[in-house]
Amino acid sequence: MKKKTKVPKKIVSFIMAFITIITTVFMSGTYAYASKLDMSESTGYDYKGISPITGRKINHNIYRMKMDNKIVFCVDPGIKTASGGRYVSEEYINSKKDILSKIAYYGYTDTNRSKYNYTLTQIIIWEELGDKFISTTLPNYHKRKAEILEKVNRHNILPSWNNEKVAVKSGETIELQDKNGIIRKMKLESNNTGTDIVIEENTLKITSNKKSTSGVISYRKIPKNEVGTSIVYRKPDYQSLAEFHMENSMSARLNINVIKSGTIKVKKIDEDTGKALANAKLRFEYDGKSKDIITDSNGIASIEDIPEGTTVRISEVTAPNGYFNKGEIKKVVIEANKTIEVSLKNKEQLGKVILSKSGKDFGVEMPNDSYKLEGAIYGIYNENDEKITTITTDKFGKATSENIKLGKYYALEEKALEGYLINKEKIPFELKYAGQTVEVTSVSISHKDIEQKGKAILIKEDEKTGSIPQENAKLDGAVYELRKSNNDELVETVTIKGGKAKVENLYLGKYYWIEKKAPEGYLLNTTKHYFEISYADENIKNLI
């Protein structure tokens, strides 16, 4: 077993002395970094009060005190103090800290920081900490104290619009009244909206421009450098001194929704020619409302400052005169700071003429195949006698033109119906605008042609002697019937005179003669003598 070594007393004394030296060095280092008070600047004002700590009446010659060149206030009323170092700092913890910080801010920090305001603030702080006020050489103390405490009491009040959401259209200005009367005393903290902001008295004016965006603006009562932790500086046997800071900046926020806008421009044009159309009434529907606009001389109808993202429905209420409203509808979504252009097309209202052809005598019921309703040709001419188109009748005597522009025209027969004479009479007509819902209007005209006719001449002869009868016989006096070939219908009965007989105004067709009574001296001839009256020339009224 080893024996314990006994340390000599001299060595022990040396070690203790060394530790003492080291401790002294470290202690000296601590004091080297401690704070130093400067109270060399007299304010020139005195204060008399009863200390809540000592209970004694004390006369104070107030000095503006600075700790490491930072303004501090006495928080131990009635305790002595003096310039010098070795003040150690720590966070100030006191039930009165909040109100004392506000008194220091509104009484001194938020002023011109004069000696007067420093003295005012120090006395109010002492009173708040329990010092009983007796007197002061500071002028108007109680009046100024009341003003400071009013600010302290209103510290937590923010503008009436705090945390609200507002909307502003691009290019417009909105005004927000602060009913609490605070905003004029606050400073702009941040604005990420790009809006222009002006404060006039208690009114906040916000103007949005094309570059503005939705975001937040904030105002603060307290500058950033005045927000922080309040510090107390302590030194044994001396009063404590506090460097006050506000706990927060008391910010007010306003959420701004910038509603950017755009423009919708609609051009009304002729579908076929691209020509701009004036006087069309267009309807714009959006946001539960509608607005009717008449297109100008350039065919344009437009609306500005429609909020972005808005869906606009464009329809035609009334087409321009002479045009058909085809019911075209367009929907567009408005984009910020842009003009969206769309076009709506109209087709010009056209017209057609419908001609009904008939015969003067027969109407539309043809007597036989020699007469037809089909094939009559008409030219359609405008007021300048320019031929526009041609129409031809069908088997029912109907002819319909192609679609032509509205206006005044006339029809002129260029080729007659088979079996009819040509009618050179002009048939005037007008195609008028029939309203915006009619794509193609029409007008009906009628025309009658005179039936071409013929005549049949019967010559009676002796088969041997010709036109001279034999001996006492006679050619005159013979009676003949004229009948239709297709149905033996009796047309007329004639008697031979002067060796012949004639029937006029016969319709075209096939006929036959048959003798019904022989003349004196001759036998009855029962042979049917057929012939046909055929259509020859549309300009010849009667055929032989």
pLDDT tens string, the chain, 544 residues long: the values are 333 334 344 433 333 333 333 333 333 333 335 899 999 999 999 999 999 999 999 999 999 999 999 999 999 999 999 999 999 999 999 999 999 999 999 999 999 999 999 999 999 999 999 999 999 999 999 999 999 999 999 999 999 999 999 999 888 899 999 999 999 989 999 999 999 999 999 999 999 988 899 999 999 999 999 999 999 999 999 999 999 999 999 999 999 999 888 899 999 999 999 999 999 999 999 999 999 999 999 999 999 988 889 999 999 999 999 898 888 899 999 998 899 999 999 999 999 999 999 999 989 998 888 899 999 999 999 999 999 999 999 999 999 999 999 999 999 999 998 999 999 999 999 999 998 889 999 999 999 999 898 899 999 998 888 889 888 889 899 999 999 999 999 999 999 999 999 999 999 999 999 999 999 989 999 999 999 998 877 666 555 4
d(CA 131, CA 119): 15
- Does 266 share its domain with 313? yes
- Does 395 share its domain with 311? no
DSSP string computed for 429-490: EEE----TT-SEEEEEEEEEEPBPEEEEEEE--BTTTBTS--TT--STT-EEEEEETTT--E
Residue 74 lies in a domain: yes
- Does 367 share its domain with 462? no
Q: Specify the pLDDT at position 327.
A: 87
Overall number of domains in the chain: 4
- Looking only at the bridges linking them, the beta strands covering 440-449 and 350-359 are parallel
- Does 439 share its domain with 462? no
Q: What is the CATH number of the domain that holds 383?
A: 2.60.40.10
Residue 437 lies in a domain: yes
Q: Specify the pLDDT at position 467.
A: 87
- Does 93 share its domain with 43? yes
User: Residue 185 carries which DSSP code?
Assistant: G
Residue 143 lies in a domain: yes
The pLDDT tens digits for 172-227 are 899 999 999 999 989 999 999 999 999 999 999 999 988 899 999 999 999 999 99
218 strand-pairing partners: 190, 253
- Domain range spanning residue 376? 350-449
Q: Which residue has the tokens 């419908």?
A: 354
Q: Specify the pLDDT at position 399.
A: 96
Last residue of a domain, one of 393, 418, 449: 449
Residue 195 lies in a domain: no
* Two tokens, residue 341: 């252009």
- Does 357 share its domain with 336? no
CA of 455: how far to CAs of 179, 450, 461, 491, in Å?
Answer: 114, 16, 20, 12
Residue 319 lies in a domain: yes
- Does 441 share its domain with 467? no
Residue 248 lies in a domain: no
Q: Specify the pLDDT at position 260.
A: 86
- Does 343 share its domain with 355? no
Residue 487 lies in a domain: yes
Q: Which residue has the tokens 């057929």?
A: 530
Residue 168 lies in a domain: no
User: Residue 396 carries which DSSP code?
Assistant: T
The pLDDT tens digits for 337-375 are 899 999 999 999 999 999 999 999 989 998 888 899 999
Last residue of a domain, one of 320, 348, 376: 348
d(CA 426, CA 432): 19
Q: Specify the pLDDT at position 539.
A: 64
d(CA 456, CA 481): 12
d(CA 158, CA 139): 32
- Does 499 share its domain with 483? yes
Kindly provide the residue ranges of all beta strands, DSSP E only, lying in 260-386, ordered along the sequence: 261-270, 281-286, 289-294, 300-307, 311-318, 323-324, 329-333, 339-348, 350-359, 377-382
d(CA 143, CA 136): 13
**Global confidence as pTM:** 0.56
Q: What angle do CA 160, 163, 167 make, to 5 degrees?
A: 95
- Does 344 share its domain with 354? no
Q: How distant is the alpha carbon of residue 35 from its chain centre?
A: 69
- Does 384 share its domain with 433? yes
How big is the chain, counted in residues? 544
Q: Specify the pLDDT at position 538.
A: 65
Last residue of a domain, one of 123, 153, 183: 153
- Looking only at the bridges linking them, the beta strands covering 500-507 and 215-220 are unpaired
d(CA 281, CA 315): 9
- Does 406 share its domain with 480? no
d(CA 460, CA 519): 10
